[in-house]
Amino acid sequence: MIGRRELPAEYTAFNTEWGAPYGHAAAQQLSIQDRLDADGRAEFGPFAFQVNSLTRTFEYPWAFHAAEIRPGMRVIEVGGGLSGFQFVLARNGCEVFNVDPATSVNWTFVPGNSWSLSQENIDLLNVEFDTDVRLVPARLQDAPLQAGSFDRVFCLSVLEHVDLAEGQGVLKRAEELLAPGGRCVLTIDLFLDLKPFGVLDSNHWGTNIDVRELVAATGLELVHGDRAELFGFPEFDRDALVDRLDEIFIGNYPAVSQALVLEKPVA
């Protein structure tokens, strides 16, 4: 499915409770670094410590509700950075692993708004939010984690930034790590300035990756997602999507969010 502009009431409630996707109002006049340095960081909310795309307004609450989280679940967020989502999962009783190789990256989009993923900053936010998120500084394919031991793998707006082979590798490893019946919860940006909408093959952010080929590389089953709104499936209907753009949640790239859930068969 593609994220819609009109959010369900429970999505709006999630964003209000947790300050998604930019943090609560108290954080808005401060740079990311100033938020990290401030006393009383918790009042900013868990989403205040990483620059986010507008489409996350849909993606975070959708992923939380689609995953059907229960206390005691073991979950992975792939490429979690300093995203608040990992801390929300932990606050809801999950054992959370943030698997992200970018521990030495410091990205700056506008002056004063940068962030650095580090064990120090994860520790800092764990204290603020009374959580125990574990950072694994590696690609998912290389992470030293036990196969078949996880209930959920989240990969939110990550796969559009890598090539198809890398994306397939991520999903194959997710399949290995999931227990039977476990689910991989995905959002994948679909860029409106790239083919099949525009003339370019890629932009600064990535590509319109073939979702059908991603899924077909695994034994995971598509249990949530409209094939007509997932790029690469034969049912994908570009013209119908363009006709409904006024209903669609369009981000600031511009991009829209493809949302899907894959499940590992029980037998």
**CB distance 103 to 119 below 8 Å:** yes
Polymer length in residues for the chain = 267
Q: CA-CA distance, 255 to 257, in Å (whole number)?
A: 7
Burial status of residue 228 (CB atoms within 10 A of its CB: 0-12, 13-18, 19 or more):
middle
Task: Give, as one character, the DSSP assignment of residue 248.
Answer: B
Give me the tens of pLDDT residue by residue for the chain, a chain 267 residues long: 999 999 999 999 999 999 999 999 999 899 888 999 999 899 999 999 998 889 999 999 999 999 999 999 999 999 999 999 999 999 999 999 999 988 655 444 444 444 578 899 999 999 999 999 999 999 999 999 999 999 999 999 999 999 999 999 999 999 999 999 999 999 999 999 999 999 999 998 999 999 999 999 999 999 999 999 999 999 999 999 999 999 999 988 899 999 999 999 997
8 Å CB contact between 105 and 116: yes
Domains along the chain with CATH numbers: 9-263 (3.40.50.150)
Q: Is the separation of the CB atoms in 159 and 208 below 8 Å?
A: no
Within 13 Å of residue 19, how many CA atoms lie on the same side as its CB? 21
Separation of alpha carbons 125 and 97, rounded Å: 14
